[in-house]
Homo-oligomer: A and B are copies of this chain.
Amino acid sequence: MSYYQTHRENFLEGLKTFLRIPSISTLPENKPDIRKAAEFVRDDLKAAGLHSAELIEGQGNPLVYAEWLGAPGKPTLLFYGHYDVQPPDPLEEWKSPPFEPTVRGEDIFARGASDDKGQVYILMKAVEGFLKTGGRLPVNVKFLIEGEEEVGGEHISAYVASKPARIKADAAVVSDTEMFAPGLPTLCVGLRGIVYLELEVQGAGHDLHSGVYGGAAPNPIQAIAEILCALKDRDGHILIPGFYDRVRPPSPEERAAWARLPFDEEEYKRKEMEVGELTGEPEIPLFERLWARPTLEVHGIRGGFTGEGAKTVIPARATAKISMRLVADQTPDEALARFKAAVSEATPKGVTVQVKLIHGAAPSLVDPTNPFIKSSAEAMGEVFGKETVYIRSGGSIPIVGLFDQHLGMPSVLMGFGLPDDNLHAPNEKFHLPNFYLGIEAAARYLERLGR
């Protein structure tokens, strides 16, 4: 497979071009960049030799679709990824600008480098190699690359529901997860779901002077604090009644495999997370907390005066962004209903609270004995020279639940990120050896499936 070795420079230049596009899906001002990124993917797939490369327009950001179906009798794979990225703030913490991809050592730094442009590009280049060298692929392939993964993926959800025949395949391949450790090929067999909410709390009809009214006025920030403390205790236990009822515990085998994973907790704390202490339910082992337990986190809060100096105001309102991560067999609808009931119970007097759903996604768990999963593990094991480990991820990839639910299609989560890639944070990076070997592993996978 010398194409993959001789074209590394081209792959890197192509990736840089992709990373320069600030395709931030949550910010309205980046709409033009979203389109630019979609067009980049479409044009690149077309140039690689795929057919029917097109943008699928609809409500929201365009989907990119392309296919190569010239291997009748062979399996069909649906390659999924996303070209949108998280906002880069806080900007001042980046060592190089988020949209000027910069190679330092063996890593490339840019927003989206690992999540998910670098990984989407792996799938694109694996396919390109076959088509450029032999004019054909060992299996049938469809690409469906979306631009709303970071904001809930409304468009792709609707599309998957409405056009199941067009995108139906034997398995989906999703490169949007990480390897457990550098050099250790990893298959992810479980993902957490999510319910993302905004809490709006209103106290008085207008801001009040804290001297004149302090002692009688409701304070919406204090109210949010009281609600947060009523929803989760200081040890990380979620206090919403019934919240844990549907949580499926990991099997003894899975727990034992997790306990064998190579892991240095000190390194994880000091270097990867930069924290003094890990938090969360003290009686639950770390990987189970991260992969098989739900969470409730506040992502942002705003209220009152936050400028320089002092303003003695009791604000009229405050808002918070909150999510719950869900695990099998929890459902977003039930979690949302329980959350609303608990918030209503926890709301202190004098304020009113509105809970606004921003997006939701079901958790997912796939069967590790599925042949598409096993072939992937073998292909990665060959290229990386180590036995592939099975883990889960604490993150959410809403589309995986949808592929399962609407198309009965298992998802193969072949991920090439690393734990210190700074996803959703400043100085996001992608490890270039994983980029190059990931392309080879994806190609090897296609080859194995085509035998």
Contact = CB atoms under 8 A, between A and B. Distances in A.
Nearest to A221: B298
A35 interface: no
Given A194-B211, A273-B208, A311-B87, A297 B424 contact: no
A344 B306 CA distance: 22
Contacts of A213: 273, 290, 394
B207 A358 contact: no
A196 B308 contact: no
Contacts of A297: 210, 214, 219, 222, 314
Contacts of A229: 225-226, 229
Interface in A268-286: 273-281, 286
B304 A301 contact: yes
A305 B309 contact: no
A306 B289 contact: no
Contact of A209 (B216, B315, B425): B425
Interface residues of A, number: 99
Contacts of A139: none
A169 interface: no
A231 B273 CA distance: 29
Interface string A371-388: 000000000000000000
A234 interface: yes
Interface string A220-241: 0110111011001010100000
Contact of A308 (B28, B273, B290, B304): B28
Nearest to A304: B300
Given A273-B204, A303-B300, A86 B311 contact: yes
Nearest to A320: B221
Interface string A423-434: 111110000000
A395 interface: yes
Given A219-B298, A274-B205, A359-B310, A211 B192 contact: yes
Given A273-B217, A311-B26, A395 B208 contact: no
A182 interface: no
A444 interface: no
A349 interface: yes
Please name the 7 residue pairs, one residue from A and one from B, whose CB atoms are nearest each other, closest first.
A205-B274, A211-B395, A300-B304, A215-B289, A26-B309, A225-B225, A214-B295
Interface of A: 25-28, 86-87, 89-90, 93, 150-152, 178, 192, 194, 196, 203-219, 221-222, 224-226, 228-229, 232, 234, 236, 273-281, 286, 289-290, 293, 295, 297-315, 318-321, 323, 325, 348-350, 352, 358-359, 393-396, 419, 422-427
